[in-house]
Amino acid sequence: MNDHANRSGPEVVSSVARASSVLTRYPAAVIGFFILAFMCCLALTASALFPGDPQAMVAPPLLFPGEDSDYWFGSDSLGRNVAAGIAHGARVSLGIGVVSATLSLVIGIAVGASAGFFGGWIDRLMVRITEVFQTIPAFLLVIVIVVIGRSSIYTIVFAIGLASWPIIARLVRAQFRSFREADFVMASRSLGCGNFYIIFHEILPNALPPVIVTTSVLIATAILIESGLSFLGLGDPNIVTWGSMIGEGREQLRTAWYLTAIPGTFIVLTVLALNLLGDGLNDALNPRLRTTHPITKSRQK
């Protein structure tokens, strides 16, 4: 056990170094990383860049972007600063994506690990529960939960997290089924390690790479679902999000197209960045793809 623990440190460092090496040589992933970093910086500095309430009416209505240097992206029909809405909306949209994806990870890992590790009736029960959730379209389930509850940010996060966990559960279950009979697990059993230790210290770390890649997709999906809810008028009316800005600007689509185009562009860039970064992580962490990656081939030559 000690030998395995001693080896795990250098192996983790080697994996991180290998991932960093591949990512720096994968242009699409690098572009995605910098776009996402910019969005995160915008969200973190929103209060400093645009202090005060982003929903406050501070400018003449329907200023075109660039018409007034104080309002970079112009103003909407109520005289609200579009740039302030973009910055504060980045915080909310990214926060919803991260928190709801975290909730999906917790539920999915718990269900998938239990099913894949213990097998038997526990596996059958967890699979049936997962199948029930998968038969319901995720967006429809989110709408039902939000309508039954109330249109608050907490309800939306809970609804998205509850609707998105099955993909994680199935992935973790497959990983646990492949690792539960592995040599290092058998060695831990022979040393008297309990199930809890084996699950969280032996199998789960080895099952994490594909889960990490899938998490980027979950965050992107959560941002799109929240934007769809806000566009339909089911978002939190007290909070500015990119989706709510699109929904409020659709009535002026012909006369003030920028009210929907600007927040829509930020949504597209964020989702694109997450997908590009996910592809790069997949190349870096997937051993099968690593062996056929062009960089790896050139090194082998």
Integer Cα distance of 169 and 130 in angstroms: 7
Q: What does the block give as tokens for 192?
A: 């008297």
Instruction: Give the model's pLDDT for residue 24.
Output: 60
SS3 122: helix
- Report the pLDDT value the prediction gives residue 300, as an integer from 0 to 100: 42
User: Distance between terminal CA atoms of the chain?
Assistant: 37
Which secondary structure element, helix H or strand E, spans residue 154, and what is its range? helix 153-164
pLDDT of residue 299: 40
What pLDDT score does 15 carry?
Answer: 58
Instruction: State the pLDDT at residue 283.
Output: 74
Nearest by Cα to 236 from 246, 226, 251 = 226
Question: For position 218, what pLDDT does the model report?
Answer: 92
Listed by start position, the domains of the chain span 19-300
Residue type, position 150, single letter = R
Q: What is the pLDDT of residue 288?
A: 55
Which residues share a beta bridge with 71? 68
Contact 102, 162 (CB under 8 A): no
Determine contact, residues 46/86, Cβ cutoff 8 Å.
no
pTM: 0.81
Please tell me the distance from the alpha carbon of residue 259 to that of residue 58, in angstroms, as a whole number.
Answer: 16
Q: What is the dihedral of CA 63, 65, 69, 70, to 10 degrees?
A: 60
- At position 135, the amino acid (one-letter code) is T
pLDDT of residue 111: 93
- Contact present, 175 and 261 (Cβ < 8 Å): no
Annotate 37-85 with DSSP letters as a single string. HHHHHHHHTHHHHS-S-TTSB-S-TTPPTTSBTTBTT-B-TT-BBHHHH
Half-sphere exposure (Cβ direction) of 154: Cα atoms closer than 13 Å: 2
> Which residues face 81 on adjacent strands?
75
Q: How many residues does the chain have?
A: 301
CB 176 within 8 A of CB 127: no
In the prediction, which pLDDT does 39 show?
94
Per-residue pLDDT tens listing for the chain (301 residues):
444 444 444 555 565 566 556 556 677 888 888 999 999 999 999 989 888 888 888 888 888 887 777 788 888 888 888 999 999 999 999 999 999 999 999 999 999 999 988 888 998 999 999 999 988 888 999 999 998 887 788 999 999 999 999 999 999 999 998 888 888 888 888 888 888 888 888 888 888 888 888 898 899 999 999 988 888 888 888 888 998 888 888 888 888 899 999 999 999 999 999 988 888 777 777 655 554 444 344 444 4
Helix, strand, coil percent content, the chain, rounded in steps of 5: 75, 0, 20
1 close to 188: Cβ distance less than 8 angstroms: yes
Burial of 122 (0-12, 13-18, 19+ CB in 10 A): middle
Q: Say which residues have a Cβ less than 8 Å from residue 123's Cβ, sequence separation at least 6.
A: 115, 116, 173
CATH 1.10.3720.10 applies to domain 19-300: yes
Q: Give the model's pLDDT for residue 267.
A: 94
Exposure b/e, 28-67, CB count within 10 A at least 16 = b: bbeebbebbeebeebbeebeeebeeebbeebbeebbebee
Q: What is the pLDDT of residue 63?
A: 86
- pLDDT number for residue 12: 52
